[in-house]
Amino acid sequence: MKRREFLKKTSMLTAGTILPMSLIEVAFADEPDGSKSGENFTFAVISDAHLQQIKGTKFVRNWDMGLKKAVAECNLMDPKPDFILFGGDLGQLGKAAEIDHGAEILSALRSPVKMMLGEHDYYLDLGEHWMNRFGDPYYSFDHKGVHIVVLNSILVDEKWTNKWKDPMERMQTMAGLDDPNGSPFMVGLQQRQWLKKDLENISKDTPIIVFSHSPLQKLYKGWNFWTDDAELVQDILKPFKKVNVIYAHVHQIQYNKIGNIAFNSVMSTAWPWPYPETYSQETHYMPKMTIEMNRADPFFERDATGWQMIDVHSGRVDFNFQLPNNKNRTVAYNEKTKQPEDMEFQKEQIPPQTHY
Amino acid sequence: MKILKMILLSTLGLYMTSMLQADEFTQKDLDLWMAEYKIVVKEGRKVFTDPKLGTNTVTCNECHPNATNTHPETYPKFQKQLGKVATMAEMVNWCIANPLEGKKMALDDQRMTALIAYITWERRGVKLEPGKH
């Protein structure tokens, strides 16, 4: 894989610091003369900022810094990403003040921004303020021959949603990742029907990228690394030859493949989460292929947070993770094995990456 | 006389045995003590999720769901960032002072005891590995 110019530039600019996002390249087959296809493009994902209001105009400094840094880094990229997707959880407790504060920071981005909803943006007012600011929570668009779908995957059943007298109590319960009174996420029937219809006239050869906040697969229910109707959504995507699901929520690097569907997760700009297998009291279902991030150093505030730049090529996506306190990593689609793989570490686990 | 002595001795023996038995734990004792511990574990979970523990509303479980990545079984251990061998309570205080921007508490503060009771409960069954990184 050819590294893009901006990678060199950003690594020079930010030596010894953290880059809080991911850049993703979507590439098509190179031209016969070896030059890059004009259809290749890159976009960036910034996600899980969790801006947290303390009081009035005071917000948690640490989380603010993560998002501001991601925005600054994105603006420095060359070539500019075609668009930047924000992966959800802009606020921590869904407050208008948090969402507006986030919108203000994101407004500095110099590329078109697409928004996705996370549970932290939703469960206070059921997304009312977020939708007023950013529009529909699920939609699709086409970009350079790729069909791109953004889902709202953080819905739960109505009984749970409506059982709370106090919306803040509902929000706080859902905001606690490990709160046993939460409820499993789902895409829901209405959106599944919409998705089916949306894909009806799309050729089965068209590459598809689906963004969802929660993983569209079942990894660990206890922390909602989970979507209850994941298989039903996967069934809708199955007939397409090249499907890429990119999800947020998990604050860590994960990747795997189910059938034609390649899965990649993105990191958070705010804080990293431990991998589910580190919870010794429960079983987990982490994808076996994933080479995990190092355990975070709590003394280095931005460690294990990040953003990602994504290359789209041949209808598949490559992820470039910026890990300031560690070697940067690339999880790219390997055309030989037909799997997303870490370009450097796939064959060997590195000792410090032991999680327990 | 001999018989009387023997009877006396054996009575004394029985008495002593029953004294020993009185010192054994009954199931009732064990249940009571576990219940007391669980009360403190529950209290610890409250402190662990209390936005008022620090000054910036950040809670422990934001970064440590189910107290993961706290590794109580590895303390005391050398923390290079603190430059010494530290106990878990000292590391908890570091978290309170930094990510939570709060005031460190006394090491025997009831809330500290509760926090450690909760963190350790979430890690029950994992073998002790002092010093491990």
CATH number of the domain that A140 lies in?
3.60.21.10
Report if residue A343 sits inside a domain: yes
* Cβ–Cβ below 8 Å for A279 and B124: no
Phi-psi region of A63 (alpha: psi -120 to 50; beta: other; left: phi over 0): alpha
Structure token pair of residue A290: 């994933």
pLDDT at A352: 56
The tens digit of pLDDT for each residue in A31-58 reads 555 555 557 899 999 999 999 999 999 9
Report if residue A61 sits inside a domain: yes
Average pLDDT on A249-273 reads 95
Average pLDDT on A289-307 reads 85
Average pLDDT on A183-187 reads 98
Share of chain A above pLDDT 70, in %: 87
Alpha carbon distance A292, A72 (integer Å): 26
* Cβ–Cβ below 8 Å for A272 and B99: no
The DSSP element (H or E) to which A86 belongs, if any, is strand A84-86
pLDDT at A17: 33
Q: Which domain holds residue A44?
A: 5-349
- Amino acid letter, residue A87: G
Alpha carbon distance A22, A189 (integer Å): 31
CATH code for the part of the protein at B27-121: 1.10.760.10
The domain limits of chain B are 27-121
Identify which of A314, A318, A324, A325 has the alpha carbon closest to the alpha carbon of residue A342.
A318
Nearest residue in chain A measured CA to CA from B80: A299
Instruction: Please spell the DSSP secondary structure of A262-303, one letter per residue.
Output: EEEE---SS-----GGG-TTS-----TTPPPPPPP-TTSTTT
Residue to substitute from B56, B88, B98, interface A, most A β-carbons within 10 A:
B56
Report if residue A80 sits inside a domain: yes
Which of A271, A274, A299 is facing B81, going by the closest CB pair?
A299
Report if residue A356 sits inside a domain: no
Report if residue A188 sits inside a domain: yes
Alpha carbon distance A156, A264 (integer Å): 23
Q: Å from B74 to nearest chain A CA? A: 11
Identify which of A92, A86, A19 has the alpha carbon closest to the alpha carbon of residue A305.
A19
How many domains does one find in chain A?
1
Report if residue A274 sits inside a domain: yes
Residue ranges of chain B whose pLDDT lies below 50 = none
Report if residue A275 sits inside a domain: yes
Report if residue A323 sits inside a domain: yes
Average pLDDT on A345-353 reads 67
Q: Would you say the C-alpha torsion A139, A143, A147, A148 has a positive or negative sign? A: negative
Q: Which residues of B touch A (CB under 8 A)?
A: 49, 55-58, 61-66, 68-69, 71, 81, 94-95, 98-99, 122-126
Strands (E), A125-224: 139-143, 146-150, 208-212
